[in-house]
Chain A
């Protein structure tokens, strides 16, 4: 990779950039999202776009893909000034984008979904054959006749990629593509991307996973507060130096505490099963685990394997079939709702930020009230203690470095990562005995993720029991004491982190059974 890159740098003068941005500016009310951004993407280059939450990465790619319109500056496509007004104009030029959130219809087949998102002339007869052909050439196995609801998240992502590739793009934009993949699937995706790059397709790659960027990308452009602060060859940097460039500050990585003896069981799930109400949801099958004082248990798994359903049962948003399926200490809580469980010392962070963890059109302090009203004593006789609630929200904003003009701004005005910091911080600030978090650092930048990890570990060190459900194995291996895997609604036996490897967990996430020889063979 280093060699490739040297070549490209050398050729820079001679090679015409595929896409050049000159002095791009975009202002939103109250914030300058992009200011004087220059960017050059060469043909066949895998170009990383790096930055903290709210640095302006999403805004920039949305302008390239024609979803937003820049307020100033110029876009050059193959050297010619070009205005990209709409996504379809972008697709006409040969720009494809794979979004972080897929837009697929669960009840339709792969081919039907693909045909809906491409120009009509491409969607005609022979589509199935072309899907199969492309998917074979690029190592993206896909059956065009399968219905989407039966596919894993990795397979769904392949649909989106194949949909882009069918239109023979010159530039492929990928927004956090690996956050939903197992390590093995990630490796496969990288092979595909490298192959595309070798054929001359440029790739604009957004990710928070710095190690991946070091492995994959030829060049990185780093944004901070809407401006380009530096450019570099990521393979010549360390993950730490990349993170520091993003933050403009020294990175304090979360430090693992020395192993303390776990105490008594604070939270226990025994033989928990349930059928989902949603026909496309996952059912939970005979799940048992215990959470002890002072430990962090990690549950790894790919999205859609029952995490949401499990979270609903643990938080009390969905009640169990019998009270003893979930218990806190000696108290069976299976029939108790979220408020009664909070009273017993439970805190929890759901996956969806807007609309589940927070009310988008309510102010931050009101969102603070949402889960802290009982624990923080923010009510008297049913009346909201406004001053005290605002104080609580301020404490969360300050402690977790949430970037917002004030706690009287609506939750929807925050960037995703900032809101995540607020939602996680809101629970941690309440100091619960048991904390359950689903995807604690999803979409959160490295610096803030490290801070959240540190807070979780501090909580455990102070005697809380913490459950982290995540797809991010780096995260789980960084914070957990024990780790287990959820796959198709079953949770595997938890193993101490020191006795397992990322590969082993990755295979379990992909559906291999614990006693399979592949796993035993990999044991350290």
Chain B
């Protein structure tokens, strides 16, 4: 048996593959539950349906999907242009700190301009952090995978330093947390009795903007050409360094906004852990979504669901926390397997 390249790649299959991968993840998951001694259908229900069969669950799903989608969209530009920014988690952290510091600095001010100001400052913070690997890459040709990843840990230490020091709540019994933000510095709640906040609109806006940029705008065109055929990009006269900068700026701004959406959303204050790894999970989201804006939206929801399902399985079925990781891993595995079989076929001799 051997693997050989297909002469023609079926276009519909590229979009059917994620659906197939989800179906196979379900089937394999049922097998897994069965082996562990649970009723497979009931377990599947607990994992995928129960978390979202009420309003609160749907709200939680959207809350978790919001940062994943925003960051996934931001990263997708760079990934299309072969710019491998792995440091979204750090950009999220610095952006969150920057926006949060603004909120704390104007703690007493009750102005409608405060929230937009926080969003802008957070985006700038994320961009500033992303500018470091962009500069190192364009100026010294330093590998952006390493620099952006390492800067993530620097960013987390910066957060830790600040939250144990100057940003600590003076009345907070020495807990490493900032003051709780006032209402003017919090994203408005959309649905009463839930935590669903206006950040979800930012995620949808990011999807729409990315769609337009990639489909119709010269920037998206340049990104695609550079990713698919770098020499054709130089034939066209596109500036590779400019695209590296743009990719990092998109991702930095998106990550920073995702960070402030957490702080000004569900958290309501700066805490030592702003994100449970959204910046890294968003990398999976971007690829599962085929680097396509709508795909990323779907993948973000799916990934968010796997978080909720994992939590629910822990509570209801006494499953270990690792079950979330297993499901995310299976999904990625089946997706990659589908990809391979779209491009290649098995031949039996």
With a cutoff of 8 Å between Cβ atoms, the chain B residues found around residue A384 in the complex are 216-218, 221
Is A386 within 8 A of B232, CB to CB?
no
Q: Which of B7, B8, B228, B237 contacts A360 (CB 8 A)?
A: B228
Q: Which A residues between 333 and 381 are near B, CB-CB below 8 angstroms?
A: 337-340, 342, 350, 352, 354-362, 366, 369-371, 373, 379
Asked if B267 is an interface residue, CB under 8 A from chain A, the answer is no
Q: Which A residues between 180 and 222 are near B, CB-CB below 8 angstroms?
A: none
Known: A29-B8, A316-B237. A355 touches B221 (CB 8 A): no
Q: Which of A316, A359, A371, A386 has the most CB of B within 10 A?
A: A359
With a cutoff of 8 Å between Cβ atoms, the chain B residues found around residue A360 in the complex are 228-229
Provide the B237-251 mask, 1 if CB < 8 A to any CB of A, else 0. 101000000000000
With a cutoff of 8 Å between Cβ atoms, the chain A residues found around residue B232 in the complex are 355-359, 370
Known: A29-B8, A362-B228. A338 touches B218 (CB 8 A): no
With a cutoff of 8 Å between Cβ atoms, the chain B residues found around residue A386 in the complex are 216
Q: Which B residues between 115 and 135 are near A, CB-CB below 8 angstroms?
A: none
Asked if A315 is an interface residue, CB under 8 A from chain B, the answer is yes
Cα–Cα, bound, A28→B224 (Å): 27
Cα–Cα, bound, A300→B228 (Å): 32
Is A383 within 8 A of B235, CB to CB?
no
Q: Which of B7, B224, B229, B239 contacts A355 (CB 8 A)?
A: B229
Asked if B236 is an interface residue, CB under 8 A from chain A, the answer is yes
Cα–Cα, bound, A362→B236 (Å): 14
Asked if A317 is an interface residue, CB under 8 A from chain B, the answer is yes
Chain B's closest residue to A366 (CB) is B221
* A-side interface size class: 20 to 34
With a cutoff of 8 Å between Cβ atoms, the chain B residues found around residue A339 in the complex are 236-237
Q: How far is the CB of B13 from chain A (nearest CB, A)?
A: 13
Is A361 within 8 A of B228, CB to CB?
yes
Cα–Cα, bound, A315→B231 (Å): 13
Is A382 within 8 A of B219, CB to CB?
yes
Asked if B225 is an interface residue, CB under 8 A from chain A, the answer is yes
Provide the B202-240 mask, 1 if CB < 8 A to any CB of A, else 0. 000000000000001111010011001101101111010
Known: A342-B237, A357-B232, A371-B235. A383 touches B218 (CB 8 A): yes
Is B224 within 8 A of A362, CB to CB?
yes
Cα–Cα, bound, A337→B240 (Å): 12
Is A355 within 8 A of B231, CB to CB?
yes
With a cutoff of 8 Å between Cβ atoms, the chain A residues found around residue B235 in the complex are 315, 317, 338, 350, 356-357, 370-371
Chain B's closest residue to A338 (CB) is B237
Q: Which of B218, B228, B231, B237 contacts A382 (CB 8 A)?
A: B218
Q: Which A residues between 238 and 277 are near B, CB-CB below 8 angstroms?
A: none
Is A371 within 8 A of B218, CB to CB?
no
Known: A355-B229, A360-B229. A338 touches B234 (CB 8 A): yes
Cα–Cα, bound, A88→B94 (Å): 59
Is B236 within 8 A of A338, CB to CB?
yes
Cα–Cα, bound, A315→B228 (Å): 21
Cα–Cα, bound, A28→B8 (Å): 8
Q: Which of B8, B218, B228 has the most CB of A within 10 A?
A: B218
Q: Which B residues between 167 and 224 are near A, CB-CB below 8 angstroms?
A: 216-219, 221, 224
Q: How far is the CB of B2 from chain A (nearest CB, A)?
A: 10
Chain B's closest residue to A367 (CB) is B232
Chain A's closest residue to B225 (CB) is A359
Q: How far is the CB of A29 from chain B (nearest CB, A)?
A: 5
Q: How far is the CB of A405 from chain B (nearest CB, A)?
A: 13
Q: Which of B229, B232, B234, B235 has the most CB of A within 10 A?
A: B235
Q: Which of B219, B225, B229, B239 has the most CB of A within 10 A?
A: B229
Chain B's closest residue to A349 (CB) is B235
With a cutoff of 8 Å between Cβ atoms, the chain B residues found around residue A359 in the complex are 224-225, 228-229, 232
Provide the A408-426 mask, 1 if CB < 8 A to any CB of B, else 0. 0000000000000000000
Cα–Cα, bound, A339→B232 (Å): 13
Provide the B7-39 mask, 1 if CB < 8 A to any CB of A, else 0. 110000000000000000000000000000000
Cα–Cα, bound, A352→B219 (Å): 25
Is A352 within 8 A of B231, CB to CB?
yes
Cα–Cα, bound, A346→B235 (Å): 12
Provide the B128-156 mask, 1 if CB < 8 A to any CB of A, else 0. 00000000000000000000000000000
With a cutoff of 8 Å between Cβ atoms, the chain A residues found around residue B7 in the complex are 28-29
Cα–Cα, bound, A384→B232 (Å): 18
Q: Which of B217, B218, B236 has the most CB of A within 10 A?
A: B236
With a cutoff of 8 Å between Cβ atoms, the chain B residues found around residue A371 in the complex are 235-236
Q: How far is the CB of B249 from chain A (nearest CB, A)?
A: 16
Is B236 within 8 A of A356, CB to CB?
no
Q: How far is the CB of A363 from chain B (nearest CB, A)?
A: 11
Q: How far is the CB of A32 from chain B (nearest CB, A)?
A: 14
Chain A's closest residue to B224 (CB) is A362
Q: Which B residues between 271 and 318 are near A, CB-CB below 8 angstroms?
A: none
Cα–Cα, bound, A357→B231 (Å): 8
With a cutoff of 8 Å between Cβ atoms, the chain B residues found around residue A350 in the complex are 235
Q: How far is the CB of B242 from chain A (nearest CB, A)?
A: 11
Chain B's closest residue to A352 (CB) is B231
With a cutoff of 8 Å between Cβ atoms, the chain A residues found around residue B218 in the complex are 373, 379, 382-384
Chain B's closest residue to A315 (CB) is B235
Is B216 within 8 A of A356, CB to CB?
no
Cα–Cα, bound, A338→B237 (Å): 5
Q: How far is the CB of A434 from chain B (nearest CB, A)?
A: 16
Cα–Cα, bound, A342→B235 (Å): 11
Chain B's closest residue to A340 (CB) is B237
Q: Which of A352, A356, A382 contacts B217 (CB 8 A)?
A: A382
- B-binding residues in A (CB < 8 A): 28-29, 315-317, 337-340, 342, 350, 352, 354-362, 366, 369-371, 373, 379, 382-384, 386
- A-binding residues in B (CB < 8 A): 7-8, 216-219, 221, 224-225, 228-229, 231-232, 234-237, 239
- Known pairs A317-B235, A360-B229, A362-B228. 7 more at Cβ < 8 A? A29-B7, A337-B239, A339-B237, A350-B235, A356-B232, A357-B235, A370-B225
26 sampled A-B residue pairs with Cβ under 8 A: A28-B8, A29-B8, A315-B235, A316-B237, A317-B234, A337-B239, A338-B234, A339-B237, A342-B237, A350-B235, A355-B229, A355-B232, A356-B229, A356-B232, A357-B232, A357-B235, A358-B229, A359-B224, A361-B229, A362-B228, A370-B225, A371-B235, A382-B217, A383-B217, A383-B218, A384-B221
A-B pairs, top 3 by smallest CB distance, nearest first, are: A338-B237, A339-B237, A359-B229
